[in-house]
Chains A and B, each alone.
Chain A
Amino acid sequence: MNEENAEHVHPDNKTYLFIAAILTAVTGIEFGCLYIPALAPIVAPLLLSLSAGKFVLVVGYYMHLKPDPSLFRWVFLVPLGLAAIVMLMLLGLMR
């Protein structure tokens, strides 16, 4: 992959700032969630979803995984998936 192609696909600084704003807002919301009693029954899945969203934004855009060639996606997602499955199995076996 040559440098020119990579640059066309790079998000520009404005996009990065926008993502940073989203990340900040979501973090604030996550913090706030904990103080809203009405949300208590769904707070765990809500927080997990919000964090997953932050995760995807950072990995997809800051780490450039979304525009990049799919090889990198595989190299990352396979071990990540493996770690997640192992985690779930350990929780199932030991709790």
Chain B
Amino acid sequence: MGTAATAHSMIQHAGSPTGIWSWITTTDHKRIGILYGVSAFVFFLVGGLEALIMRAQLMKADNTLVSAEAFNQLFTMHGTTMIFLAVMPLSAAFFNFVVPLQIGARDVAFPRLNAFSYWVFLLGALFLNSSFIFGAAPNGGWFGYANLTSAQYSPGMNIDFWALGLQILGIASLAAGFNFIATIINMRAPGMKMMRMPIFTWMTLVTQILVVTAFPVITVALVFLTFDRLFGTNFYNVAAGGDVLLWQHLFWLFGHPEVYIIILPTMGIVSEVLPTFSRKPLFGYAVVVYSGCLIGIIGWGVWSHHMFAVGLGPIADTYFSGMTMLIAIPTGVKIFNWIATMWGGQVRYTTSMLFAIGFVAMFIIGGISGVMHSAATSDLQQTDTYFVVAHFHYVLFGGAVMGLFAGIYYWWPKIFGRLLSEPLGKVHFWMMAIGSMVTFFPMHWIGMLGMPRRVYTYSAELGLESSNFAATIGSFIIGLSMLLFVFNIIRSVRRGPIAGRNPWGAATLEWATSSPPPVYNFSILPEVHSLHPLWTEGGVNAIPDEPPGPVHVPGGSYWPLVTAIGVIIFFLAPLLHMLWPALVGGALTVFAAFNWAFEPFEM
């Protein structure tokens, strides 16, 4: 295939090219969104499998299903996979597909950079998981504390896979961050003022700002780790005067904004779903926006609440306790606004709505245990126990994952043009909700009664076997619910009912296009006059089915993929302790980047 010049087309109607090559070279945000979604879901299942194996091991006391070393790899990869390869990219799937449509744009600011982000993500995810083939999956926890991760205490390749894999994924996230910030600031349709943007787009903006500010910190922390392991530097070397706490500070300076990077988009999804199915505008739109921004800002100031047990001293502990408690305020405000949205509305309990309500309920529970952790004094008892595991699974699984499923059921018709089965969806929801409660609620008291985190087995004398057994049963219920969901998807793609433009009667711009949208999104540029364009008379101009004149659609390009391949090859060098991949990968990256820069490509 030639350069983009030969693939330019002036399109009058909706069609997209088909075939694998068109997907490999795509720069269309909708396709990239689908690619993210499919990949992320596959890795979600992988992470889920890792969880199920762990739960099977923990089902009985003194169990011997997996070894301690295998268990270390499982919990490390489960956490790393779920955070970086499942939840974040699932959110990215929605950023990609939905945000340009919600702001009335034809694509993101830099379509090829967008494709680059996806390919780097995919190759990074494969890089990380290829560690299993070498029997050297990361085993130092998803947070990789120094100096366990040093060459001395982790001599194998496990930690190298982890550090380098995360570095690669960071590149993808950063590139996407710049892209979406520029898109949201500068590509909104006429009349789409900032305070008319849908909450999902607002939360995407705050999230991306967190990404571009927090990821550089972990980039540096990982460089220090890799240099220590590879070149014998002394960043985390106590004997040379280094401080292992430097790692913890740098990691959590990234890590805490990271959890808001995870939750804010899903809060945005819920803020779309609840009003639609309550037939009522979001209660307190402006306050919800400000709360989201405040969460992002305060989220930068609380990182050492992950470090209450390291001996920071009373002043530091007090400050971080206080700030952490403070962040509960804007969070609580959002929850009250969501509840107030539903109150007095004509609520329709579709699957998407059930997941959104489930999000609110589970997030409240997770938030309560979170506030219990914020007090440094009680946290000294709770830290490193299953009480913490309970907390973050309530907010991450009961929260983020449910929120993402709310988004999947909500936007599926828009993306694929067909509806998912509601009855199957509802069974999925209830199985998942009940499964989560059965899995994670017991973890509160399991932790309080003394079971530590990250242990591959426990003694029968603790008396926790029946609770652990229950948790395992719950996890398998969740697993089964996923199978049901997969069945629902396959059925919908084949013979789901046709969705039409706006099956839910929602208010925002993406529902003004056909389902799926034409490749150019809007036949004419929308002009927006309302916060709820489709619920307001004259809220947006009429969007005709066919564009009045030919629409230029940028063609595809393979340079983003080639550049991504160059990056991965480069990272083989520190992994394998060889120089040539750095030279080859570096050269390929530069070569591909130059071609990318100079190929003709017009928006």
Question: CB within 8 Å of B: which residues of A?
Answer: 71, 79, 82, 86, 90, 93-94
Contacts and interface: CB of A to CB of B under 8 A. Distances in A.
A93 B247 CA distance: 13
Contacts of B249: 90, 93-94
A94 B213 CA distance: 21
B243 A94 contact: yes
B245 A94 contact: yes
B213 A79 contact: yes
Given A71-B185, A93-B312, A82 B245 contact: no
Contact of A94 (B185, B212, B246, B300): B246
B253 interface: yes
Nearest to A83: B213
Contacts of B213: 79, 82
B5 interface: no
Contacts of B245: 94
Contacts of A94: 243, 245-246, 249
Contact of B304 (A71, A79, A82, A93): A93
A90 B251 CA distance: 13
17 contacts: A71-B185, A79-B212, A79-B213, A82-B213, A82-B300, A86-B217, A86-B253, A86-B300, A90-B249, A93-B249, A93-B304, A93-B312, A93-B316, A94-B243, A94-B245, A94-B246, A94-B249
Say whether chain A's binding surface is mostly helix, strand, loop, or mixed.
helix
B425 to A, nearest CB: 41
Interface string B253-292: 1000000000000000000000000000000000000000
Residue of B212, B213, B243 ringed by the most chain A CB atoms within 10 A = B213
Nearest to B315: A92
A93 B313 CA distance: 9
A65 to B, nearest CB: 17
A63 B217 CA distance: 25
Contacts of B312: 93
Contacts of B185: 71
Interface of B: 185, 212-213, 217, 243, 245-246, 249, 253, 300, 304, 312, 316
A78 B300 CA distance: 12
A94 B243 CA distance: 9
Contacts of A86: 217, 253, 300
A79 B253 CA distance: 14
A79 B211 CA distance: 12
A53 to B, nearest CB: 26
A93 B253 CA distance: 13
Contacts of A82: 213, 300
A82 B209 CA distance: 12
Nearest to B316: A93
A71 B312 CA distance: 38
Nearest to A90: B249
Nearest to A95: B243
B255 to A, nearest CB: 14
8 smallest CB-CB distances across A and B, nearest first, come from: A79-B213, A93-B316, A82-B213, A90-B249, A94-B243, A86-B253, A82-B300, A93-B312
Contacts of B246: 94
A78 to B, nearest CB: 8
B55 to A, nearest CB: 37
Contacts of B253: 86
Contacts of B316: 93
A93 B185 CA distance: 36
Nearest to B307: A93
A50 to B, nearest CB: 27
Given A79-B212, A82-B300, A86-B217, 8 more contacts: A71-B185, A82-B213, A86-B253, A90-B249, A93-B249, A93-B312, A93-B316, A94-B249
B529 to A, nearest CB: 24
B397 to A, nearest CB: 30
A37 B248 CA distance: 41
Nearest to B319: A89
Contacts of B243: 94
A57 B591 CA distance: 36
B340 to A, nearest CB: 31
Residue of A71, A86, A90, A94 ringed by the most chain B CB atoms within 10 A = A86
B80 to A, nearest CB: 24
A93 B248 CA distance: 12
